[in-house]
Chain A
Amino acid sequence: MTLHAAAKPLRSFGDFFAMCLDTFVLMFRPPWAWREFLLQTWFVARVALFPTVMLAIPFTVLATFTVNILLVEIGAADFSGTGAALGAVTQIGPVVTVLVIAGAGATAMCADLGARTIREELDALRVLGINPIQALVVPRVLAATLVSFLLASMVTIVGIVGGFLFSVFYQHVTPGAFAAGLTLLVKTPQVIVCLLKAVIFGLAAGLIACFKGISVGGGPQGVGNAVNETVVFTFVALLVINVIATAVAVQATQ
């Protein structure tokens, strides 16, 4: 009995990887759920757009503010553009995107799938000969990936523009120097890495949300707990992936 209880987290870990494998295999196998994919993409984009902008602005303002204090102190305020671009492209862009995708999109996905699971709709699909992974999970995971890819570029733009406005109008940095410093440390490889990171994060968030959604148990309270766990696990996974991806990217782009 104790052995059984101890093996439980391990077993759900294994279940998660089994579902990921299923998803990746079924991604390339017809029939492809186009309609569901478009609906989910639109849904995730709609719920995530406004919070993304709202979260990107304070994040960059805070980062620019803190870095600029340092730069002004050592007499290098002209390089504030470099700091803003570095922060926005390498870290804030992908991280803010996935915070919103996880907080807004993944929670809603998990709640939706969880409610279907406890109403036994997924079992009904299986009885009808439809694989729920193919019909529901694959389009959701791909939707989260696509939207996160698209949003990352927007967050980066909002971040740099926000940093520009804040540096120029609040901390009195010369606008020309700011613009000139933007591309000092951040070049095409960094931008590509930023977008790649966003894709990986979106994929991870979608997979975790769908796994938690289809493995809900324990009635209405279970759905709430599953959503809570989705948020926690996505954030943890995001930060771990971010450390590894950053370490690899720093080595690769140097």
Chain B
Amino acid sequence: MTTATAAPSRLHPRARRVVGIAVHTWNQVGQQAKFYALTVRSIPDAVIHHRVEVVRLFAQMGLGVGALAVIGGTIVIVGFLTLSTGSLLAVQAYSQLQQIGVDALAGFTSAYLNVRLIAPLTAGVGLAATIGAGATAQLGAMRISEEIDALEVMGIRTVAFLASSRVLAGVLVVIPLYCVAVLMAFLATRFGTTFVYGQSTGVYDHYFNTFLNPVDLIWSFLQALSMAIVVMLVHTYYGFTATGGPAGVGEAVGRAVRTSLIAAVLVTVFVSLAIYGQSGNLNLAG
């Protein structure tokens, strides 16, 4: 405090402050990019030296920790999320289609919208909330109790050991996770349309099977994988750099969730624009 009052005041304090904040933000972007590059570069390191850790994290991410494990872990949560968005599609699409008299196409909306839009977005949100936020909370707790510093003192490459292994485990865990998610979305829409709204299963299955495009499913998988990479990178960064005690960890989780949601959705937009292009790669005539 004394040094601040003793120093002579400078010219243009407000402009200086604005520039200072801008420079700080810019530098932070650079530091994040550097961290991401280092994490991705260290993935081979994690595969070679920390294989056990990756497998352990893989199991932990699939099943969850604490209260989340009690209700069935990440797989159940993400499956449940897509289950509810799938039934949402049944509720919303069926009633709108009924208004214009083409409710037979409910199976088509499931095969089209679930694959391209709803399952990837819901899975992305679920990933950020479950394994992403969990990783930030874990790493943040390690950082504030100085466990990460202790690892560094012991000569362990912390980025490879903690961050790269989590990114790798996250990407691995997405593969079974997304299968469950897509299946749940399909099942929920089918159940809602045929059982609750009373469409005949034959009509539903006919339009569903006619318009389900296997190639689209593979692209949808790619979307989920790219989202998992982005989500895990963002969340490990915020956990790795958490400061300010227990409340700081909580705030880091919040910041990480917000950033990774935006990043994941943006990635999905760009990936779908890149995959489907302007024409949309849709052939309704068959």
Contacts and interface: CB of A to CB of B under 8 A. Distances in A.
Contact of A115 (B68, B250, B278): B250
B88 A185 contact: no
A231 B46 CA distance: 29
A243 interface: yes
Contacts of A214: none
A243 B254 CA distance: 25
B129 A235 contact: yes
A73 B269 contact: no
A103 B140 contact: no
B70 to A, nearest CB: 5
A228 B279 CA distance: 40
B247 A231 contact: no
Interface stretch (B12-20, B29-37, B52-60, B259-267): B259-267
Contacts of A153: none
A246 to B, nearest CB: 5
A113 to B, nearest CB: 9
B246 A220 contact: yes
Contacts of A185: 96, 99
Interface stretch (B78-86, B151-159, B166-174): B78-86
Contact of B71 (A9, A54, A220): A9
Secondary structure type dominating chain B contacts: helix
Contacts of B269: 58, 61-62, 65
Interface in A79-121: 86, 90-91, 99-100, 103-104, 106-108, 110-112, 114-115, 118
Contacts of A231: 128-129, 133, 253, 257
Nearest to A51: B258
A86 B254 CA distance: 30
Interface string A226-254: 11110110011001101100110010001
- In the A-B complex, the 7 residue pairs with the smallest Cβ-Cβ separation, listed nearest first, are A111-B250, A69-B280, A224-B137, A107-B254, A115-B247, A239-B84, A103-B257
Chain B's interface size range is 35 or more
B117 interface: yes
B144 A91 contact: no
A225 B130 contact: no
B121 interface: yes
Given A62-B268, A114-B250, A239-B88, 6 more contacts: A58-B265, A69-B280, A107-B254, A115-B246, A235-B81, A240-B84
Contacts of B280: 65, 68-70, 72-73
B265 A224 contact: no
Interface in B233-286: 245-247, 249-251, 253-254, 257-258, 261-262, 265-266, 268-269, 272-273, 276, 278-280, 282-284
Contacts of B71: 9
A96 B171 CA distance: 25
